[in-house]
Amino acid sequence: MIGVERDQEIERIMRKKMEEMMRSQQQKGTSNEPKLIELNEQNFDDAINGSKPVIVDFWAAWCGPCQFMLPIFDRLARKYGDRMVFARLNVDENNAVAARYDVYAIPTFIVFKDGKMVDRAIGAVGEMGLERLIRKHIT
């Protein structure tokens, strides 16, 4: 039993550290960093109809792979934010939008151009996979 309790304690500590890191990442920011746009049902359509292509990260707070991808998404936003808009949509809070685009697994990354969905990647595709998706749609 002691081993099980120790494993649970280690897992609790790791989860707490991950949450602290995520909060720290979200609070960081300098004026030269592109901001990740938080989308909702009210601003979604306007956001995807801009002049630049838009990549939307469909995510949830409880989703481990989503949390894994967040710092990657943030790094790529800094790298490509001058050529593409980077946005996030919490599927638990905005399930109608997620359903409209058939998002049933998360994380899902969807690229929009002129308001139309043009590409998607499902799952924790890693930095190379996500960068490949982005580079296909920027000029």
Question: Are 76 and 19 in a shared domain?
Answer: no
Full domain range(s) for residue 92:
31-135
Closest among 9, 28, 13, 106 to 67, alpha carbons compared: 106
Question: Are 130 and 106 in a shared domain?
Answer: yes
Active site residue 66: yes
Task: Estimate the crossing angle of helix 126-135 against helix 64-80, to 10 degrees.
Answer: 50
Question: Are 128 and 115 in a shared domain?
Answer: yes
Q: Alpha-carbon distance 3 to 82, whole Å?
A: 50
Active site residue 63: yes
Q: For 63-92, what is the mean pLDDT?
A: 97
Catalytic residue among 37, 63, 121, 122: 63
Domains held by the chain: number: 2
pLDDT tens-place string over residues 19-76:
776 666 655 544 456 689 999 999 999 999 999 999 999 999 999 999 999 999 999 9
Catalytic residue among 55, 66, 84, 134: 66
Per the CB < 8 A criterion, the answer to whether 59 and 98 are in contact is no
